[in-house]
Amino acid sequence: MDGILVINKPAGMTSHDVVAKLRWILKEKRIGHTGTLDPDATGVLVVCIGKATRIIKFLDDSEKIYEGTITFGIKTDSMDASGQIIEISDSSELNSNEIDRVFRSFVGEISQIPPMVSAVKVGGERLYKLARQGKTIDREARKINIFEFKLTKFYKEYFDDKIFSKADFLVKCSRGTYIRALASDVGEKLGCGAHLSKLVRTKSGVFSLKDSIELDDIKKDPNIAYSVLIDIGVALAFMPTIFIGYLLSQLEMDIRKLQGRLWESLLKKV
């Protein structure tokens, strides 16, 4: 079995949990994923199977699109809804113009410090493991790109007899972007703090949510995975041609077979 599955990751599972479940269901050891999603997040998780695992690093370098919700005035230790509340502030006076202005200020190349609760390694150890031990260490800022960050809805909600402002958003960004950290940084810039209360990845590279399949559907009928499996050639058709020679050697594919797949996938787009 060689190809790509686009899974709509359910909330409550890690990306590794999804891979482990698929290995068990499909009886296939060579399975990996691109672009880790937080446990609370849902949406597009690109899963590579068999020989497709050899192109993970190329697919992982693609642009990501997310939709989600930020709650202003409530800070958590994990920067999302799964964490413990560490600070509450008044956000009732915020307005959509203020939020939109701050959103736009993050567009471009920016430096972002990864959250403590993350899979980033520092000194050979995952940050989330250190966080579980109650440790907080200095993290080096990393360059990321925010291509678009727009407000799609602004509203207010009651929580614990207080009014909090909330914002639905859409963001297009480079790999390695922590949307939790982005939400927290927006809150800091507005002076009230914030956390990410909902997140859905709607697109990863050329793979979108409409292409996805539910993990439960594959569990019920493993044969479904074969019917929706995306051919490696389809993924390669959208990649810069300079990688093709290298990928051929990595995939050990016959060049005529690959050319046929590329042409077939391109003709379908016409």
* Alpha carbons 70 and 154: distance in angstroms, whole number: 10
* Alpha carbons 188 and 135: distance in angstroms, whole number: 22
Q: Ramachandran region of residue 55, left (φ > 0), alpha (ψ -120 to 50) or beta?
A: alpha
Active site residue 138: no
Identity at 219, one-letter amino acid code: K
Active-site position among 38, 40, 60, 185: 38
Residues in Cβ contact with 30 at an 8 Å cutoff, skipping those fewer than 6 apart: 49, 50, 51, 53
Among 65, 20, 43, 78, residue whose Cα is nearest residue 213: 43
Q: Three-state SS for 126?
A: strand
**Which sequence positions are flagged as catalytic?**
38
